[in-house]
Amino acid sequence: MSLEEASRLAAASQTLIESRHVAADAKFEAFDFGAGNVVEDAEGWEYFNDGDEMTRTVYFENAENPEADSQRGHFTVRFEDGTDAIAEAYGALGGAILDDLQATSGPRP
């Protein structure tokens, strides 16, 4: 592979990472974590599976005691291979999976 080809591939990869970051941010902002799950803060994105999956730590208000420490959870976005199309997005808090508008207690497939 020539240096020029490698540079083009690197630029295309960076563009995909950037577009996935924008898509993940938008999904996170629009996500319904369910009644009583108030997001207080979130950390930056971590990339897994060659960038096909992004996860961030999310801090939720303690619903039982708002004066107590925040509860730590996560938000994950999975992308269709090689694109910025979101295949799946979900939150996790206290062992429960938080899908848009619902919470389940089982593990994620």
Token readout for 89 is 């997005």
Residue 7 lies in a domain: yes
Percent of the chain surpassing pLDDT 70: 79
Query: Is 93 a domain residue?
Result: yes
Q: What is the pLDDT of residues 23-54, one digit of tens each?
A: 999 999 999 998 888 999 999 999 999 889 99
Give residue 65's pLDDT. Answer: 84
In this prediction, residue 6 has a pLDDT band, given cuts at 50, 70 and 90, of low
Q: Which residue reads 């999956």 in tokens?
A: 53
CA 64 to chain centre: 25
User: How many domains are contained in the chain?
Assistant: 1
* pLDDT given at position 46: 96
The residue range of the domain holding 36 is 3-104
Please state, in angstroms and rounded to a whole number, the distance separating the CA atoms of residues 15 and 36: 36
Residue 76 lies in a domain: yes
Does residue 14 belong to any structural domain of this protein?
yes
Q: Whole-number mean pLDDT of the chain?
A: 83
pTM, two decimals, is 0.78
Res. 14: pLDDT tops 50 = yes
* Residue 109 in domain: no
What pLDDT does 28 receive? Answer: 96
In a domain, 24, yes or no: yes
Given pLDDT bands bounded at 50, 70 and 90, which one contains residue 79?
very high
